[in-house]
Amino acid sequence: MTEPLDRAALLRLAAGAAVVGAIPDGVRKALTVDFPQPHPKWRFVFVNHALTNPFFVPTKDGSYDAAALLGTSVEWTGSTSSDVGEMVKAMRHAVATQADGIAVSIVDPQAFNGPTALALARGIPVVSYNADGGKGNTRLAYYGQDNYQSGLELGARLVRLVDRGDVYLFIATPRQQNIQPRIDGALDAIRDSGSPITAHVVASGVDVGRELTKIEATYKANRGLRGLFAVDAGSTAGVAAVMRKHGLHERGVKAGGYDLLPATLRAIHDRELDFTIDQQPYLQGFLPVLQLFLYRYSTGLVAPADTNTGLHFVTHANVSRYLTTKSRFEGSSSREQYPVG
């Protein structure tokens, strides 16, 4: 991990640059604004529902990069299997150990309300990232995709791809607040379209191997289906694998899903999948650290603000940039590198 540049380091860099007659603009600006001033090395804790899920690799990288830039530290904790109990326990531990800020993926409508209120009462800022399903949760801000919106857009695209027939929508963990709204949105869009499409929702589970088995079993039991779609990274990779294994794209079956796992991107390149949705996982890690830092640095005057990290459809037309670029931004490389490539 790269250490943050302190003022002395910047001066050394400037002095070196002066020898060769060029002071980079960024360095010149840094020398004049004196930011940040010396501050405590705040500890920010990320509470996550799928710690080993490859989706969160760039999110973690984003958080580490922001921490390095700002001179803070980041810890990741939570669950590997969307176990809300584990997550709540991890969050309460962060509060008990006086973390300086907490970012939590709120995947349950109620369970995080208590720990959030407790943390705020103790002066610990809490923000949510990736999932924001708390009903009445008092977190300060959310960083991530609008999941209902993305589901609605997925449904609208599905309708354009599949004009009629049965389609299957796979969701790892139904009712989980980061992915259930996507299913809800997709179903609303299918109904709104009026197309003669029958959508079936299938719970695929959190285990990647079981997801694949479930998706394949669904296909074998319904060989006349017209589409396979998923609303989480693991299920999308599973859909891609089944599409490839059975040559379904050649048979006119349409498919799509979420996130940028390497298998998903390769399947799009090979036209096994029609699309995937990029929700900027790097920003979901970078921005919470940045804003928690600003909150602390300004003693609460700069309040965290919601950020929609967006919705970008990756298709065969634009996937090559993802495949040819190895970077921390999409989780394809752990190397710090500029320019990326």
Partner 1 sequence: MAWVTWRQHRSQLVATAGLLLALAAAAFGTRLPIHAAFHRDSLSACLPPAARSGCDIIVPHFEAEFAGWVTAARVLAVLPVLAGLFVGAPLLARELEQGTYRFAWTQGVTRRRWLLSKTALLAAAMLLAGAAASAVVMWWRGPFDTLEGRIGPSSFDVEGLVVPAYALYALALGVLAGLVFRRTVAAMTSTLVAFAATRFLVLEFVRPHFLTPLHRVVLATDTGLQPGDWVLSNTLVDGGGRQISAAREDLAVLHATQAGIDPHTYILTLGWKRLISYQPAGRFWTFQLIEAGLFVGLAALIVLVAVWLVRRTPT
Closest approach of Cβ 287 to partner 1, in Å? Answer: 18
Taking CB under 8 A as the criterion, the residue among 90, 119, 169, 189 binding partner 1 is 189
Give 151 or 285: the residue with its C-beta nearer to partner 1.
151
Does the footprint of partner 1 cover residue 250 (CB under 8 A)?
Answer: no
Instruction: Kindly state the number of chain residues that form the binding site for partner 1, as judged by CB under 8 A.
Output: 20
Does the footprint of partner 1 cover residue 159 (CB under 8 A)?
Answer: yes
Closest approach of Cβ 310 to partner 1, in Å? Answer: 12
Does the footprint of partner 1 cover residue 188 (CB under 8 A)?
Answer: yes
Taking CB under 8 A as the criterion, the residue among 6, 163, 207, 250 binding partner 1 is 163
Does the footprint of partner 1 cover residue 133 (CB under 8 A)?
Answer: no
How far apart are the C-alpha atoms of 241 and 264, rounded to whole Å? 9
Taking CB under 8 A as the criterion, the residue among 73, 81, 149, 333 binding partner 1 is 149
Lookup: tokens for 14: 């400037």
**284 contacts: CB under 8 Å, gap ≥ 6:** 59, 62, 129, 130, 143, 144, 309
Does the footprint of partner 1 cover residue 171 (CB under 8 A)?
Answer: no
Q: Which of residues 226-245 bind partner 1 (CB under 8 A)?
A: none
Taking CB under 8 A as the criterion, the residue among 157, 226, 296, 328 binding partner 1 is 157
Closest approach of Cβ 165 to partner 1, in Å? Answer: 12
In Å, what is the CA distance from 1 to each residue of 65, 283, 334, 337?
A: 8, 18, 10, 12
Taking CB under 8 A as the criterion, the residue among 61, 65, 153, 232 binding partner 1 is 153
Site stretch for partner 1 (CB under 8 A), options 9-17, 160-168, 172-180, 254-262: 160-168
Give 99 or 159: the residue with its C-beta nearer to partner 1.
159
Q: Which of residues 256-315 bind partner 1 (CB under 8 A)?
A: 308
Does the footprint of partner 1 cover residue 317 (CB under 8 A)?
Answer: no
Taking CB under 8 A as the criterion, the residue among 156, 202, 203, 323 binding partner 1 is 156
224 exposure class (CB count in 10 Å sphere: 0-12, 13-18, 19+): exposed
Closest approach of Cβ 170 to partner 1, in Å? Answer: 21
Site stretch for partner 1 (CB under 8 A), options 42-50, 123-131, 193-201, 266-274: 193-201
Does the footprint of partner 1 cover residue 182 (CB under 8 A)?
Answer: no
To which residue do tokens 């390095």 refer? Answer: 68
Does the footprint of partner 1 cover residue 192 (CB under 8 A)?
Answer: yes
Does the footprint of partner 1 cover residue 195 (CB under 8 A)?
Answer: yes
Does the footprint of partner 1 cover residue 152 (CB under 8 A)?
Answer: yes
Applying CB under 8 A, the residues found at the interface with partner 1 are 146, 148-149, 152-153, 156-157, 159-160, 163-164, 185, 188-189, 192-196, 308
